[in-house]
Homo-oligomer: A and B are copies of this chain.
Amino acid sequence: MTDVEQPPTQAAQREAVVDLLGVLAYAELSAFERLASDASLAPALEQQAALGEMAVAEFGHFVTLRDHLAEMGVDPTVAMTPFVAPLDDFHDSTAPADWLEGLVKAYVGDGFASDFYREVAEYVDDAPTRELILAALADTGHAQFVVEQVRAAITADETVAGRLALWARRLMGEALVQAQRVAVDREALTSLVGGGDLVRIGELLARLTARHTERMEKLGLKA
């Protein structure tokens, strides 16, 4: 450990990229399963189908990332395995109690993850991999659906806003606990992002928090 930033070696860069693709792939696969399963909380068949479509889009991203790992000569299962426990624990500790909690989780979780991976992709020196990550994070066009549903629920019952704002804070808390765990375990990945530079990590967190606050405002919730 050192405070002086070192340019990563080629091996360390590759290790970090494999980690990044691995965590992203399993994040998409588990998001697919949880979204599909949360769809059963929908109050009507149209919303159930809409959440299903979001889930299928995540599965498509998973396939792209898995196939890219295989093309790099990496076993996708090996790359994903270190991230199964943290992501499963995150989902287990944040199972939505109802449809609105499910929607907020899909929107806040997907948004935050998307911002984070986009930031990390900037540090990937292999252009095709970088582009692949950005494509996997492309807006699936379902965010607007969630915003409309949540705003309508708040208009119908103002007390919903307080409850969902608390829920979103819990989601962020649990996400940070698991991110911390990954950061400690996966040194190459952490170096890729922060390079040992605490100022840079601080700036990254500030940007992510600002964008989270914007998303909460769009939903009509206090961050």
Contacts and interface: CB of A to CB of B under 8 A. Distances in A.
Interface of A: 26, 29, 32-33, 36-37, 39-40, 44-46, 48-49, 52-53, 55-56, 59-60, 62, 66, 76-77, 80-81, 84
Nearest to A66: B49
Contacts of A77: 44-46
B29 A33 contact: no
23 contacts: A26-B45, A29-B48, A29-B52, A32-B52, A33-B37, A33-B39, A33-B40, A33-B48, A33-B52, A36-B36, A44-B77, A45-B76, A45-B77, A45-B80, A45-B81, A46-B77, A49-B62, A49-B66, A52-B59, A52-B62, A53-B59, A55-B59, A56-B59
Count the copies: 2
